[in-house]
Amino acid sequence: MKKILLVEDDPFLIDIYNTKLKETGFSVEIASNGEEVFSKTKERKFDLIVLDIVLPGMDGWEVLEKIKADPKNKSLKVIVLSNLGQKEEVNKGLKLGATKYLIKANYTPTQVVEEIKKIL
């Protein structure tokens, strides 16, 4: 079973994506801020991180940079799932090492799960 770390601070979206991913057969852990990401990635290994950019405290850009700078997590796949959809933001996410950048408004939760399945 593939393990996914869902990094999101909106309880409604956490519920939707957590449910969809579990229905599809993924094991899901939740982190609602950047600090939680690092405590969880120290504890266990994930196959993929679904990362929001707008988070309390440390934002998703900083989380992505730190993940990619850590030799242990360098090859970890990260999908950015954000409402920040400007071309510069998408390019920044990919440049920082995101495997894929999905704009929330352009994808239903089912389509997001399909994208995750393609990557894994």
Phi, psi of 86 (to 5 degrees): -65, 150
pLDDT tens-digit map of 5-18:
999 999 999 999 99
Query: Domain range holding 16?
Result: 3-119
Q: Give the chain's domain count.
A: 1
Q: How far lies 109's CA from each of 19, 23, 106, 113, in Å?
A: 10, 12, 10, 6
Cβ proximity of 63 and 34 under 8 Å: yes
How many Cα atoms sit within 13 Å of 76 on the Cβ side?
30
Is the pLDDT at 74 greater than 90? The verdict is no
Residue 65 maps to which CATH number?
3.40.50.2300
pTM of the model: 0.96
pLDDT of residue 119: 97
Q: Tell me, what's the pLDDT at 118?
A: 97
